[in-house]
Amino acid sequence: MLRHVVLMRWKPGTTAIEKQAIREGLAALPAAIPEIRSYQFGDDAAIVEGNYQFAIVADFENASDFQIYAAHDAHRKLIAERIRPILQDRAAVQYAL
């Protein structure tokens, strides 16, 4: 199994509507991309100072399935249209489970 972890910070001025559009887009990905085994995301709970603002933890059977997800049109369209316009910082790791 391969786990894909992404943390993001949004640009100042990002609206609740823009953030909701990202959550809705992400929620639709598991149905569109059968290679996704597990998909959990959410806003930072604001209990620690200095955190990033949003996390995605996605599990795949192997690196090949992760690559299919990464290159999938539904995923790329979401990144291009909803995430990249408000993205300030991004940190990611993929690691073996």
Binding site residues, a copy of itself, CB under 8 A: 2-3, 5, 7, 40-45, 47-48, 50-55, 57, 63, 66-67, 70, 89, 91-97
- Minimum distance from CB of 60 to a copy of itself (Å)? 11
Q: Which CB, 70 or 74, lies closer to a copy of itself?
A: 70
- Minimum distance from CB of 81 to a copy of itself (Å)? 21
Alpha helices in the chain, H assignment, sequence order: 16-27, 29-32, 63-71, 73-78
| Cβ neighbours of residue 60 closer than 8 Å, sequence gap 6 or more | 1, 2, 3, 4, 35, 36, 37, 66, 69
